[in-house]
């Protein structure tokens, strides 16, 4: 039997990047902005931005739109990243959720 090989795509799907981490490493750091400076650019509080960048909070659609307007990264892309991250996190906890399959009503 041939062993199955995992591709980069498989690994990305199982553990997608949090959009906050992407914004931090691909936008904020390359522009050499502090969190305080970036928060001012976005018109949000420093704690709100910090929570997203450090993966303590989900990226809201409003924050994604602000990032799109300020830095040109598509809101749609950022929201897809958040959705993929949320799905992967839920899948990791699937074993903790004890639900029986619905069998339907007997007639």
Say if residue 86's pLDDT is above 80. yes
Say if residue 6's pLDDT is above 80. no
Say if residue 7's pLDDT is above 80. no
Phi-psi region at 44: left, alpha or beta (left = phi > 0; alpha = psi -120 to 50) = beta
Share of the chain above pLDDT 70, in %: 86
Report the pLDDT value the prediction gives residue 105, as an integer from 0 to 100. 75
Residue with tokens 């924050």: 63
Summarize the confidence of residues 72-88 as an average pLDDT: 98
Residues 66 and 14: their CA atoms lie apart, in Å, by 28
CATH label of the domain that carries residue 78 = 1.10.260.40
Q: Which is higher by pLDDT, 104 or 53? A: 53
Summarize the confidence of residues 74-101 as an average pLDDT: 96
As for how many domains the chain has, the answer is: 1
Domain membership of residue 48 as a residue range: 13-93
Q: Helix, strand or coil for residue 33?
A: coil
């Amino acid at each position: 039997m041939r062993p199955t090989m995992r591709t980069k795509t498989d690994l990305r799907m199982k553990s997608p990047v949090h959009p906050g981490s992407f914004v931090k490493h691909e936008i904020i750091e390359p522009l050499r902005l502090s969190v305080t400076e970036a928060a001012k650019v976005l018109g949000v509080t420093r704690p709100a931005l910090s929570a997203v960048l450090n993966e303590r909070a989900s990226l809201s659609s409003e924050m994604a739109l602000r990032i799109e307007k300020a830095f040109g990264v598509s809101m749609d892309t950022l929201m897809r990243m958040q959705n993929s991250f949320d799905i992967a996190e839920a899948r990791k906890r699937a074993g903790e959720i004890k639900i029986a399959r619905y069998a339907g009503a007997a007639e």
